[in-house]
Structure 1
Amino acid sequence: MSNRPIVGLDVGGAHLKLALLSAEGRLEAVWIAPCALWKGLDRLGGALDELLPGVPEDARFAATMTGELVDLWPDRAAGVAAIAEALAQRLGPVSFYGGEKGFSESAEDWRSLASANWRATAEALAATEGAGLLVDIGSTTADLVPFAKGRLSARGSDDAGRMATDELVYLGIARTPVMALAARMPFNGAWVSPMAEHFATTADVFRLTGDLPEGADLHEAADGGEKTVEASARRLLRMVGADFDAETALAARALARFLSEVALRRFCDAAAVILARSGSAAAPVIYGAGVGRFLARRLAERLGLMYRDVGTLWADDLADAVSSCAPAVAVARLFRSRTL
């Protein structure tokens, strides 16, 4: 069993991520494709069509998921079952990551499988690093997971518990609606409550600040329009009831800088309360991952902590892709370590 390639899959609600390990355990490739599961399970099939041509025929598959949360299904149990069945039909036997319960080809214990990708990354880190705080900031959400002495010290175990403990922050750098980011925004000399409309997203914010990484924004813009600086400024200004012109162009950038600071402060607040808890207060390092890890680096600077990029720990030439798709790489690494 150990002399076959391994593919790690992270099936999210918006993206599918794959990582390929050679039979010798060398990281060969990392891929990502848009996968808007809320629009139908066929989107998973389309994403697999895009990524599978690069996978060896004799590869074994290990998977984790968060896509069961989308409103395509009535509850998470149904979502886990549907995703697991779709993967098995397409790929053959798939070993699903179930956190403390390890890997299983059965999806019957859906609670252990649901939204476990954060744990895979943190567990793989904890196996080789000292005390630290994983800060994985993606396009939609952020995971903040403390660990020490080879073990996770997170308080939450599912989405509800993790949100209540600030270990899951529903804020990302591309898909978060701006109306959810701040209750008030400074514009034209006054505090303005943003319109409760899906006019702009955080992709527009970070495109205007110049921070949005290439390939981080794989879905349609809020208005289905172009992904240019001017189009982002137009969408952001619409949030405060203004139009884009020569006079408001600078105001749009000022709004973006303010909202970028709001996002950073949200993550700093979450990290501060996690680090203040018993057992994690001594964590000396922020381990950054995700397409929004530039904010994880700034968080470390703000809190006066060391910073390390997960990608540089696990790869050399693929470091950027590894950081952006850390759970897929982690689940492949964990599966290999437990099947050798």
Structure 2
Amino acid sequence: MRIAGFDIGGANTDLAVVELDESGDITDVKTDFSYLPMWERKDDLADVLKELLEPFGEVDAVGISMTAELVDAYKTKKEGVVDIASKSNDAFDVPVGFVGLDGMMNLKEVLDDPLKAAAANWIATAPLAAKIKPDTILLDTGSTTTDIIPIKNGVECALGRSDLERLQTGELVYSGTLRTNVAALVEKVPLNDTMARVASELFAVTADVHRVLGNITKENYSGVTMDGAGKSIVDCRRRISRVVCGDLEVLSTDEIENIAAYIYSEQVRKISEALKEVSIRNRLHHVVTTGLGMDIIASMACELAGLTFTGMDKLLKKEDCVNAPAVGTALMMEPYLTKKNLEENLEGF
């Protein structure tokens, strides 16, 4: 059995094609992604989904999770969910399901209650973490955000359900490995034995910081740069220098790297602060880390919070951890294909 799982984000759309044996155990996982800025190219979604899946051949079903409903191409999240779900459903001739807050939904259920499918991809990732440890916290640091999801007895028990609620509870931090505006992380940075205030402009993002520090490669830097220039370390240094209204003639390499290191430490500190809040409230002291920032942000946040942690690469291949929500989304479709009364079970999908 082969199931495709798509996680449709505002900037990146991730794919996982999961092969399962008759017992429902994973025998193979293949992943890929496409940079698709939904705020500019939402009408390309169906074509991108089909193009992503085409090299992997036929599948028995498709699962969809999404966070792209929040992009400003949509007036409301409901409008976004309906558009994304409709385009995704129309793209395939096999059963298509959507991750919702209460489990998988068919298209009719999504159209009847769109907000249940809004930003619910963490629902798909939590069961993967639970396979590693039934009482833990999922810490998923992606390109844009960090999910902090408590799990007890193998079941997620997040206090917040929507993104708005999870921002209030510490279960969502809008800080990620690539796309976070540096000016949103720090008000001041160290420079010449002083603390310089930063310019509140979109000069540099965390991808620039992590590229300069050697935390990510040029290939990891998906998406566009803020100045339209390249992704070399020199280009990234130039963008960081602008954060304090400088340039490569005004600031030395050491000064820029010190600024980057401070921004990095502040990002880790803020994520660790939220992690500790969730840990104390739920009396959980173990964390399962995943996502693009698994090793460079999430693990550091765990150490700062004084919590033990296990990487999701204990369950998945390291490269597949970046697409963990897509893997989980595919697995959530599996019960609908394995029950005895297949025809009844797939009604509506």
Q: Provide the residue aligned with 1:131 in structure 2.
A: 135
Q: Considering only aligned residues, what root-mean-square deviation do their CA atoms show, in Å?
A: 1.8
**1:21-100 residue pairs with structure 2 within 5 A?**
21-24=18-21, 25-92=26-93, 93-100=95-102
The answer as to whether partners of 2:101 and 2:161 remain within 8 angstroms in 1 is: no
Tell me the CA shift for residue 333 of structure 1.
1.5
Residue 5 (structure 1) aligned with residue 21 (structure 2) = no
Query: Which stretch shifts more, 246-255 or 114-123?
Result: 246-255
Quick one: structure 1 residues 162 and 236, their matched pair in 2 at CA, closer, same or farther if it must change by over 3 Å?
A: same
Q: Provide the residue aligned with 1:269 in structure 2.
A: 273
- d(CA) in 2 for partners of 1:285, 1:257: 27
Residue 160 (structure 1) aligned with residue 157 (structure 2) = no
Tell me the CA shift for residue 262 of structure 1.
0.2
- d(CA) in 1 for partners of 2:247, 2:329: 46
**1:152-231 residue pairs with structure 2 within 5 A?**
152-213=156-217, 215-231=219-235
- d(CA) in 1 for partners of 2:121, 2:114: 14
SS at match of 2:223: coil
- d(CA) in 1 for partners of 2:306, 2:146: 20
Which whole-Å deviations, capped at 9, do the CAs of 1:65-118 have from their partners, x for residues lacking one? Answer: 101110111101110110111112211341111132433233222111110001
The answer as to whether partners of 2:134 and 2:155 remain within 8 angstroms in 1 is: no
The answer as to whether partners of 2:10 and 2:70 remain within 8 angstroms in 1 is: yes
- d(CA) in 2 for partners of 1:95, 1:262: 39
Query: Which stretch shifts more, 288-297 or 98-107?
Result: 98-107
- The percentage of counterpart residues that share the same residue type is 30
Query: Which stretch shifts more, 39-48 or 10-19?
Result: 39-48
The runs of 5 or more residues in structure 1 that have no matched partner are none
SS at match of 1:102: strand
The answer as to whether partners of 2:63 and 2:332 remain within 8 angstroms in 1 is: no
SS at match of 1:26: strand
Tell me the CA shift for residue 58 of structure 1.
4.1
The answer as to whether partners of 2:269 and 2:304 remain within 8 angstroms in 1 is: no
Counterpart amino acid of 1:51?
Answer: L
Aligned partner (choices 307, 314, 337) of residue 309 of structure 2: 307
- d(CA) in 2 for partners of 1:60, 1:20: 10
The runs of 5 or more residues in structure 2 that have no matched partner are 339-349
- d(CA) in 1 for partners of 2:222, 2:99: 26
Counterpart amino acid of 1:12?
Answer: G
Tell me the CA shift for residue 150 of structure 1.
1.6
- d(CA) in 1 for partners of 2:52, 2:140: 23
TM-score by length of 1: 0.92
Counterpart amino acid of 1:8?
Answer: G
- d(CA) in 2 for partners of 1:308, 1:271: 15
Residue 296 (structure 1) aligned with residue 294 (structure 2) = no
- d(CA) in 2 for partners of 1:46, 1:274: 39
